[in-house]
Amino acid sequence: MKNDKGLILCYNKLGLMERRRKERGKAMEIKRIDAYDDPRFSPVVLAQHGAFLAEGLPFAVEILSAGEAVISGQPAAYYPPVIEEFRFYAEHISRIYDKNGRIVAQFPPVELFDVEIEAIQPSQFYADADKVAQVSTFIHKPEDVVIPLMEYEGRYLSLDGHTRLYAANQKGFRKVKGFLSSAGDYIFAFAREAQARGVYTPKDLRLLSHPDYCVLWHQFCDDFFGRG
């Protein structure tokens, strides 16, 4: 990767993330852990990508259901910015508890609906084999897969969650849960590029090894956003 900007943009919400970080200020540094073997966190939290470091201190957010999660770590004063960072990736989670069962954050619930996997146009071309293996450990039923979507050409366009979609298709699920969200106009260019590569449904995603995924997907992002 030449820079981080292309990769963050490929997570589909660069402007929103940058604005939130500016509003939070530079005093709080939060890093999301993408590794799967960090001894500070449980395998479940790592598989769900709910592990964070806030000022170097570990915080875990474990998803309990389609709308609930539990947060742990100290000090509790860091919960709000950690939760904000977590919900950047999981905006459908509207109620978060501490380990004692107390509600520490609550947001307007997101309306979920059933959607046929075949009705979803990916905005991605690849699936990372390592990530598919990890998410498969906590995907047991269609309701475990919740995807942000936009309406698109009489179907739906997936904004994120392509690994989960690939795993759901592998498990033979016909439907998953979705909710309506938004993204920048570039997402439509991603969809057109996916179609040009023969990717019209999640089953068309090309499974790659983790190293190959990092090279090909990150290179596409750098090239795409470097055109301007």
- The position carrying tokens 């759901």 is 168
Rounded to whole angstroms, the Cα distance separating 131 from 34 reads 10
Supply the mean pLDDT for the chain.
89
How many residues in the chain?
A: 228
Question: What are φ and ψ of residue 9, in 5° steps?
Answer: -60, -35
Residue 102 has pLDDT above 70, yes or no: yes
CA distances from 184 to 43, 159, 177, 207, 223 (A): 33, 10, 22, 26, 17
CA dist., res. 193 & res. 227, Å (int): 15
pLDDT tens digits, 115-172: 999 999 999 999 999 999 999 998 999 999 999 999 999 999 999 999 999 999 999 9
| Domains observed in the chain | 5-106 (3.40.630), 113-225 (3.90.1530.10)
What is the model's pLDDT at position 222?
86
- Residue 2: band (very low, low, confident or very high) from pLDDT cuts 50, 70, 90: very low
Structure-block tokens of residue 10: 């490929």
Q: Strand 68-72 relative to strand 95-97: parallel, antiparallel, unpaired?
A: parallel
Distance CA 192, CA 200 (A): 10
Q: Is 5's pLDDT higher than 80?
A: no
Q: Which DSSP state fits 112?
A: P
Tell me how far apart the alpha carbons of residues 145 and 166 are, in angstroms, rounded to a whole number. Answer: 10
Confidence of residue 10 (pLDDT cuts 50, 70, 90): low
pLDDT score, position 13: 42
